[in-house]
Amino acid sequence: MAVVLAACCCLLVLLGPGPWVECQELSSGEEAPTPPEVSSVERESTAGREEVSAPEATSHPELPPDHEPVPGQDGATAAALRSDPCASSADNCSECLRHPECAWCSQQSFPRGVARCNPASVLLDSGCSEDAIENPESRIDEITPVDKAGSDVQLQPGEVHITLRPGSKQTFTVRYRQAEDYPVDLYYLMDLTHSMKEHKERVAELADDLVEHMLNVTKNFRLGFGSFIDKVVLPYVDTTPARLKNPCHDTECDPPYGFHHQLALTSNSSLFTEKVSSAGLSGNLDNAEGGFDAIMQAVVCKEAVGWSQRSRKILLFATDSIFHSAGDGLLGGAVKRNDEQCHLDEDGFYSESKEQDYPSLSQIVRVVQQNKINLIFAVPEKASGVYDTLSSFIDGSSVGTLAGDSSNIVQLVRDQYYKIRSEVVLQDNAPDFLKVSYKSSCLRGSSSRGLSNACDGIKVGDEIEFQVTVELEQCPGDGAQGGQSTAFRISPVGVNEYVQVRVEPICRCACQDIVEANSSACSGRGSAVCGACECETSFYGKHCECLGSQLEQHTALCRRDNSSSELCSHRGDCVCGECKCYDPPGVPGGRVFGQWCECDT
């Protein structure tokens, strides 16, 4: 008496007109039933066509991990079918490599019932030669340190080369050390409208104290000075001839201007005091000032200001008022978009003030970040709310409350500098297809320990380690063409040092360079590449055995109903409109059958 291995009684209701299909019992000696004949309307007519003898289509033994068991599937079969991470990744070698656990067999002769895209161990056990297996590994190729000849180097290493497969990741260590006597450049950018009179006078008086204090912090300290009013056009400034000459009502003032660069960065504190003291006050009409114009020019005019390549760059912005931004300039006729370029005449005045609009906040954020500037807003308490909000958009910026006469300017600069120096925040400009994550080993007591790109509470001589993980989420551009090498930088906010990370994506197989055109393995209708077929335009199928014009009709025949996207229930190949079912792995004597491979034993 025949032994019944399993029973599967799944009644499948087809959407639309059609019969009920029942999975019948199979005994050990029975063959799986043949799928019902497809009508001549549905199937491609073969009349008059020469029969093509093509090799048996290769098949896939397992299902994708997210496949739901169909009725009649026992637990062991379902678990085996879900175990293959390479399912649905097997159209060609480059697509196979997009899953980090998958390898590809390019061997021409390969057993039926095993997919070419499988874990390497499966391919070896199935008889694929080790030399024919494409399974490149992700790796860190090279880590190049920065030459420590310069004692002010704070970031290591200098360069990292990584090779990555899609979905894989590599981790390396970045170290940041708080250097002693790291150079500091401080450019003092002051609002010189008449309401800032006391502030200007007090800054000039306290300049020597400021320099003395900063020299206790670093032996490499320089000061510069610039000032701003607003665009010299209505409605920002009174343009009557008398008011252009003297915009103040009760005292003598200098003519208004947009921005004036007055002193390049220097270690000569006496010269700084002289320039601040001799700078004249001016005036405007509205409450807002042209500070954004001044910030833009102070940042991008690097040669004129004298910013060092390797220094902590501090732009101290002192004002008692709010600011104009992009769009405000249109009312005064400044209709050109700010071009983020330096425009200083021979006397240091901003020459495009009347032509170009004020910068937008996003433009300020961009140039400050690109040029590694630490922006400190020194403002009275009445304006601190506005500048707190502004600072929240600008990495590396902070707000200090200025006393009514700037008498606390030395303390403000000291506190803000220590705040900036005691914190390190790593940032990167990696492209979207790379995912970069950080894990910090901050000092005990830091509020940023753990999964973070930041550490605080750092003192001179302290060294912090970050574990940086880079993952290739997908191939850039046309992955089939190999994926182009790409590079990005990791750098601390406000410090002009960086780690250059170069990533070589593995998106193409070496066997793709060997192409056999009009291969007999492809029915003479395509090229054999990596053991698989790349068919001519008019044909498809594992061996190019199906006519391409019937593709939609054929694939529809391999679906259980119109709402399903699964071909052959994910348990077989759709060959010219007919499902060729796989045998279930790990189930000796098991069979998969049915018109759509929906039944099993």
- Is the predicted pLDDT of residue 366 greater than 80, yes or no? yes
DSSP state of 548: G
Instruction: Please give the pLDDT value at position 10.
Output: 37
CB atoms within 10 A of CB 119: 17
Distances (CA, A) of 219 to 203, 211, 305, 386, 502: 22, 10, 20, 35, 36
Determine contact, residues 224/265, Cβ cutoff 8 Å. Answer: yes
Task: Give residue 429's pLDDT.
Answer: 95
Range of the domain at 310: 184-421
Residue 154 lies in a domain: yes
Q: Is residue 494 part of a domain?
A: yes
Distance (Å, whole) CA 421 – CA 459: 8
Length of the chain, in residues = 601
pLDDT tens for residues 82-129? 445 675 556 788 888 888 999 999 998 877 667 888 899 989 988 899
The pLDDT-based confidence of 142 (bands split at 50, 70, 90) is: very high
Structure tokens at 364: 């300020």
For residue 280, the SS3 value is coil
Inter-residue contact 261 to 298 (CB < 8 Å): yes
Q: What tens digit of pLDDT does each residue of 119-134 get?
A: 999 899 888 999 999 9
* pLDDT of the residue at 544: 87
369 with 380, same domain: the answer is yes
Facing residues of 492 across strands? 426
Q: Which domain CATH number covers 157?
A: 2.60.40.1510
State what percent of residues in the chain have pLDDT above 90: 48
Q: Are the C-beta atoms of residues 350 and 293 closer than 8 Å to each other? A: yes
pLDDT of the residue at 247: 82
Give CA–CA dist 173/402, Å, rounded: 41
Q: What is the pLDDT of residues 202-214, one digit of tens each?
A: 998 898 899 989 9
What is the pLDDT, as a whole number, of residue 293? Answer: 98
How are beta strands 26-27 and 4-6 bridged, if at all? antiparallel
Same domain assignment for residues 318 and 445: no
pLDDT at residue 579 is higher than 60: yes
In whole angstroms, give the CA distance from residue 432 to residue 220. 39
CA–CA separation, 297 vs 257, rounded Å? 14
Largest CA distance in the chain: 119
pLDDT band at 449 (very low <50, low <70, confident <90, very high): low
Taking Cα atoms as reference points, which of 203, 230, 155, 174 lies closest to residue 441?
Answer: 174
Cα(592)–Cα(426) distance, integer angstroms: 55
**What is the tally of structural domains in the chain?**
3
Give the 3-state secondary structure of residue 19.
coil
- Domain assignment present for 48: no
Virtual torsion, Cα 310, 314, 315, 320, nearest 10 deg: 180
pLDDT band (50, 70, 90) for residue 373: very high
Model confidence pLDDT, tens digit, residues 19-76: 334 465 454 445 544 444 433 333 333 333 333 333 333 333 333 333 333 333 344 3
CA 257 – CA 333 distance, rounded (Å): 16
> What pTM does this model have?
0.73
At 266, the pLDDT band (50, 70, 90 cuts) reads very high
If asked whether residues 110 and 188 sit together in one domain, one would say no
Single out the residue in 396, 421, 446 at which a domain terminates: 421
Instruction: Looking at the structure, tell me whether residues 494 and 376 fall in a common domain.
Output: no
**pLDDT (tens digit per residue) in 515-563:** 999 888 888 989 999 988 888 888 887 788 888 777 777 888 888 887 7
Taking only the tens place, the pLDDT of each residue in 494-504 is: 998 999 999 99
Q: Are residues 31 and 150 in the same domain?
A: no
Q: Closest Cα partner for 535 from 551, 553, 515, 518?
A: 518
Task: Assess contact for 281 and 254: CB atoms under 8 A.
Answer: yes
- Candidate from 47-61, 117-131, 177-191, 442-456 with smallest mean pLDDT: 47-61
What's the confidence (pLDDT) of residue 149? 57
| 155 and 256 assigned to the same domain | no
For residue range 426-438, list pLDDT tens digits in order.
Answer: 999 999 999 999 9
Same domain membership, residue 518 and residue 559:
yes
Q: What are phi and psi of 57, to 5 degrees?
A: -65, 135
Would you state the structure tokens that stand for residue 274, as one six-digit string?
């002289």
Statement to judge: residues 294 and 416 lie in one domain = yes
589 to 6, 31, 53, 579: CA distances (angstroms): 11, 11, 29, 20
Amino acid at 338: N
Please tell me the distance from the alpha carbon of residue 261 to that of residue 410, in angstroms, as a whole number: 22
Strands of 249-365 (E only): list them. 259-266, 312-318
pLDDT level of residue 404 (50, 70, 90 thresholds): confident
Domain-terminating residue out of 453, 487, 505 = 505
User: 530's torsion region: left (phi>0), alpha (psi -120 to 50) or beta?
Assistant: left
What pLDDT is attached to residue 448?
56
> Using an 8 Å Cβ cutoff, are 300 and 371 in contact?
yes
H or E, element range at 489: strand 486-492
Domain-located, residue 258: yes
Same domain for 227 and 369, yes or no, is yes
pLDDT of residue 78: 39
- Give the contacts of 469 (CB within 8 A, at least 6 positions apart): 169, 170, 171, 436, 437, 438, 439
What is the predicted pLDDT for the residue at 572? Answer: 79
Three-state secondary-structure class, residue 503: strand
> Is 362 in the same domain as 458?
no
One domain for residues 78 and 167: no
Residue 559 within any structural domain of the chain: yes
Residue 53 belongs to some domain of the structure: no
Per-residue pLDDT tens over the stretch 276-308: 999 999 988 888 999 999 999 999 999 999 999
210 located within any domain: yes
Same domain for 367 and 218: yes
Among residues 482, 505, 528, which one ends one of the domains?
A: 505
Q: What CA–CA distance (Å, rounded) separates 31 from 43?
A: 24
pLDDT tier for residue 477 given thresholds of 50, 70 and 90 = confident
Q: Is residue 300 part of a domain?
A: yes
Mean pLDDT of the chain: 82
Contact 296, 267 (CB under 8 A): no
Map residue 572 onto helix, strand or coil: strand
In contact, 483 and 166? CB cutoff 8 Å: no
Residue 300 is part of a domain; what is its CATH number? 3.40.50.410
pLDDT recorded at residue 72: 35
CA distances to 20, 43, 48, 445, 551 from 16, rounded to whole Å, are 11, 19, 33, 68, 21
